[in-house]
């Protein structure tokens, strides 16, 4: 096989692997796929059982196309084997554990060997480089440090790249703004909802982000819209990039935008992407939207084959003008998990966000409240209005409310009750925003 040196001090620039010729990349992928499938078969009972049931053995993987014969892995499999049932390394080789927040029931636990941590650091260094950071940048890392993979993922990746990292973590918003200004911060990473909160608080404190040295924002861990990107870029005077990842696969660093901001390059030498029909599991051709599925090609402690992400996207056909040979996925505007079914109609919170960012006089702070009256679903959208709008006449507020209700009905195809609320009354998030309150079960 082709020997690819690990990213390290002797390997510059970090993003060189992003430009590998496709035949070489595919050869590397196949070699890694064969190795990882054998590891799963030999070490993880769940995979050996499922492969035996399908009559498939590791030696049956002769080409990358053979991947479709392998069984899927679901989030349920991770819960059912809680906490360590899918580990492929003995505990003495595991040097780190992370876990999902686990809002309902037990969390999902993920593990890393030292080699896995080195891989994670190198893919994050490449991802951060793709957003235009380099040695000399000062990164304010406002992702949470802890069991969540965001904080430490960015931390080691940015350090490897040579940037200065400020491990401020989430929360303490006023102090974040002070640090951003006083330390000459040039880049920030956090959830998009938290950056929205920072911008808002900055405005209240009279700090104009456009006057600061801040030039790059890297956002992830929750879906956000192109309209929100425009808002960030204009209000903060930055370039705003989307980074995609999930803890089951490694954490942040699975796919990332480049300067073209037209889709996210998948770090394909470590994570093999497929798009499948979410209902049938059948593979879909490039360009068609479906569910994103990943196979980890190099993980040691917890490799996963064909993990179903529930994220809806498509593989973009054709090369990217930036020259990277890694294939791209479309920005993930919605997760199938986030989809609300209201009176039989599919609604995504991101559609509401896009409407709000389009209409003058409102802020993209909103909450969706679902109730059931006489067996019928009701959807209320509570929206903050700008201070100027709020001090305006009652007639102007009524007109705005009518306009919003009209646009939402047109976009969402259902009747929506819009309630305008005073500025800064909807609870702010320091991590992932809670956009939906579903009271239909009550
Ligand atoms: Zn590109």
Q: Are strands 239-246 and 251-257 parallel, antiparallel or unpaired?
A: antiparallel
Spatial distance between the Cα atoms of 156 and 118, rounded to a whole number of angstroms: 9
Given pLDDT bands bounded at 50, 70 and 90, which one contains residue 160?
A: very high
Given pLDDT bands bounded at 50, 70 and 90, which one contains residue 213?
A: very high
Is residue 330 within 8 A of residue 287, CB to CB? The reply is no
Ligand 1 center to 432 CA (angstroms): 27
* pLDDT tens, residue by residue, 317-327: 999 999 999 99
pLDDT recorded at residue 333: 73
Across the range 343-371, mean pLDDT stands at 84
Does residue 5 register a pLDDT over 80? no
Ligand 1 center to 18 CA (angstroms): 9
Highest mean pLDDT among 103-107, 170-174, 294-298: 294-298
How many Å separate Cα 154 from the centre of its chain? 13
Ligand 1 center to 320 CA (angstroms): 5
Does residue 10 register a pLDDT over 70? no
Ligand 1 center to 265 CA (angstroms): 7
Q: Give 113-117 contacts, CB < 8 A, sequence gap 24+.
A: 113/89, 113/300, 113/301, 115/300, 116/250, 116/299, 116/300, 116/301, 116/302, 117/156
> Which whole-number Å values give the CA distances from 364 to 111, 176, 294, 382, in the listed order?
37, 21, 32, 10
For residues 146 and 264, which has the higher predicted lDDT (pLDDT)?
264
Is residue 84 within 8 A of residue 108, CB to CB? The reply is no
User: Taking the C-alpha atoms of 51, 52, 55 and 60 in order, what is their torsion angle to the nearest 10 degrees?
Assistant: 50
Sign of CA dihedral 68, 74, 80, 85: positive
Ligand 1 center to 142 CA (angstroms): 26
Is residue 229 within 8 A of residue 357, CB to CB? The reply is no
Given pLDDT bands bounded at 50, 70 and 90, which one contains residue 187?
A: very high
**Three-class SS state of 339:** coil
Given pLDDT bands bounded at 50, 70 and 90, which one contains residue 356?
A: confident
pLDDT recorded at residue 104: 59
Alpha helices in 206-364 (DSSP H): 226-236, 349-358
Ligand 1 center to 153 CA (angstroms): 22
Does residue 431 register a pLDDT over 90? no
Look over the chain and give the mean of its residue pLDDT values, rounded to a whole number: 91
Burial code (b: 16+ CB inside 10 Å, e: under 16) for 408-427 equals beeebebebebebeebeebe
Peptide bond between residue 13 and the one before it cis (omega within 30 degrees of 0): yes
Given pLDDT bands bounded at 50, 70 and 90, which one contains residue 280?
A: very high
For residues 305 and 221, which has the higher predicted lDDT (pLDDT)?
305
Spatial distance between the Cα atoms of 217 and 347, rounded to a whole number of angstroms: 28
Ligand 1 center to 181 CA (angstroms): 31
Ligand 1 center to 219 CA (angstroms): 17
The DSSP secondary structure of 132-176, one letter per residue, reads T--TT-EEEE-SPPSSSSHHHHHHHHHHHHT-EEE---S--HHHH
**Three-class SS state of 438:** strand
Ligand 1 center to 396 CA (angstroms): 44
For residues 373 and 188, which has the higher predicted lDDT (pLDDT)?
188
For residues 90 and 170, which has the higher predicted lDDT (pLDDT)?
90
Ligand 1 center to 20 CA (angstroms): 13
**71-85, 286-300, 394-408: segment of lowest average pLDDT:** 394-408
Given pLDDT bands bounded at 50, 70 and 90, which one contains residue 102?
A: low
Spatial distance between the Cα atoms of 102 and 430, rounded to a whole number of angstroms: 17
Ligand 1 center to 161 CA (angstroms): 19
Does residue 195 register a pLDDT over 60? yes
Does residue 442 register a pLDDT over 80? no
| Region label for 257, one of left (φ > 0), alpha (ψ between -120 and 50) or beta (otherwise) | beta
Element containing residue 218 per DSSP (H, E): strand 216-219
Ligand 1 center to 289 CA (angstroms): 20
| Region label for 364, one of left (φ > 0), alpha (ψ between -120 and 50) or beta (otherwise) | alpha
> Which whole-number Å values give the CA distances from 52 to 42, 60, 70, 308, in the listed order?
12, 12, 10, 21
* pLDDT tens, residue by residue, 72-97: 999 899 989 999 999 999 999 999 99
For residues 193 and 178, which has the higher predicted lDDT (pLDDT)?
178
Q: What percent of the chain has pLDDT over 70?
A: 96
Structure tokens at 376: 């019928």
Across the range 277-294, mean pLDDT stands at 96
pLDDT recorded at residue 101: 65
Spatial distance between the Cα atoms of 218 and 433, rounded to a whole number of angstroms: 17
Given pLDDT bands bounded at 50, 70 and 90, which one contains residue 361?
A: confident
Neighbours of 185 (CB within 10 A): 22
Ligand 1 center to 441 CA (angstroms): 44
Given pLDDT bands bounded at 50, 70 and 90, which one contains residue 1?
A: very low
Does residue 336 register a pLDDT over 80? no
Ligand 1 center to 286 CA (angstroms): 17
Ligand 1 center to 329 CA (angstroms): 11
**132-141, 180-189, 220-229, 243-252: segment of lowest average pLDDT:** 220-229
For residues 395 and 316, which has the higher predicted lDDT (pLDDT)?
316
Q: Which residue has the tokens 């305008």?
A: 420
For residues 426 and 299, which has the higher predicted lDDT (pLDDT)?
299
pLDDT recorded at residue 3: 46
Given pLDDT bands bounded at 50, 70 and 90, which one contains residue 405?
A: very high
Structure tokens at 138: 């000062």
Q: What percent of the chain has pLDDT over 90?
A: 70
* pLDDT tens, residue by residue, 30-56: 999 999 999 999 999 999 999 999 999
Ligand 1 center to 100 CA (angstroms): 30
Ligand 1 center to 102 CA (angstroms): 34
The model carries a pTM of 0.86
> Which whole-number Å values give the CA distances from 229 to 133, 158, 269, in the listed order?
18, 22, 28
Alpha helices in 71-141 (DSSP H): 75-80, 114-130
Q: Which residue has the tokens 């796919």?
A: 255
Does residue 20 register a pLDDT over 90? yes
């Amino acid at each position: 096989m082709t020997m690819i040196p690990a990213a390290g001090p002797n390997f510059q620039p970090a993003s060189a692997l992003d430009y590998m010729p496709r035949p070489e990349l595919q050869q590397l992928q196949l070699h890694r796929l064969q190795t990882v499938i054998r590891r799963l078969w030999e070490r993880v009972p769940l995979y050996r059982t499922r492969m035996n049931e399908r009559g498939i053995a590791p030696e049956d993987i002769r080409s990358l196309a053979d991947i479709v014969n392998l069984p899927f892995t679901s989030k349920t499999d991770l819960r059912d084997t809680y906490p360590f049932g899918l580990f492929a390394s003995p505990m003495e080789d595991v040097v780190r554990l992370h876990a999902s927040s686990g809002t309902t029931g037990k969390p999902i636990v993920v593990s890393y060997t030292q080699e896995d941590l080195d891989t994670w650091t190198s893919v994050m260094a490449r991802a951060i480089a793709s957003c235009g950071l380099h040695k000399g940048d000062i990164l304010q890392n406002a992702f949470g440090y802890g069991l969540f993979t965001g904080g430490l993922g960015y931390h080691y990746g940015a350090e490897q790249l040579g940037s200065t990292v400020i491990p401020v973590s989430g929360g303490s918003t006023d102090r974040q703004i002070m640090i951003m200004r006083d330390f000459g911060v040039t880049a920030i990473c956090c959830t998009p909802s938290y950056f929205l909160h920072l911008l808002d608080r900055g405005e209240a404190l009279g700090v104009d982000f456009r006057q600061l040295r801040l030039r790059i924002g890297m956002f992830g861990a929750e879906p956000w819209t192109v309209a929100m990107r425009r808002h960030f870029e204009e209000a903060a005077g930055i370039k705003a990039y989307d980074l995609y990842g999930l803890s089951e696969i490694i954490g942040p660093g699975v796919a990332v935008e480049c300067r073209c901001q037209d889709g996210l390059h998948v770090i394909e030498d470590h994570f093999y992407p497929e798009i499948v029909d979410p209902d049938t599991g059948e593979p879909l051709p490039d360009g068609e939207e479906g569910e994103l599925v990943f196979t980890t090609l190099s993980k040691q402690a917890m490799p996963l084959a064909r993990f179903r992400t529930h994220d809806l996207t498509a593989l973009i056909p054709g090369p990217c003008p930036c020259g990277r040979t890694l294939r791209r996925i479309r920005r993930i505007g919605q997760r199938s998990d986030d989809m609300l079914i209201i009176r039989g109609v599919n609604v995504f919170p991101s559609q509401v966000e896009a409407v709000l960012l389009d209409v003058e006089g409102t802020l993209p702070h909103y909450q969706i409240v679902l109730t059931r009256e006489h067996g019928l679903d009701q959807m209320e959208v509570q929206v903050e209005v700008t201070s100027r709008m709020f001090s305006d006449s009652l007639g102007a507020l009524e007109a705005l409310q009518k306009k919003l209700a009209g646009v939402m009905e047109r976009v969402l195809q259902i009747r929506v009750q819009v309630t305008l609320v005073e500025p800064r009354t909807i609870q702010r998030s320091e991590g992932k925003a809670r956009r939906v309150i579903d009271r239909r079960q009550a």
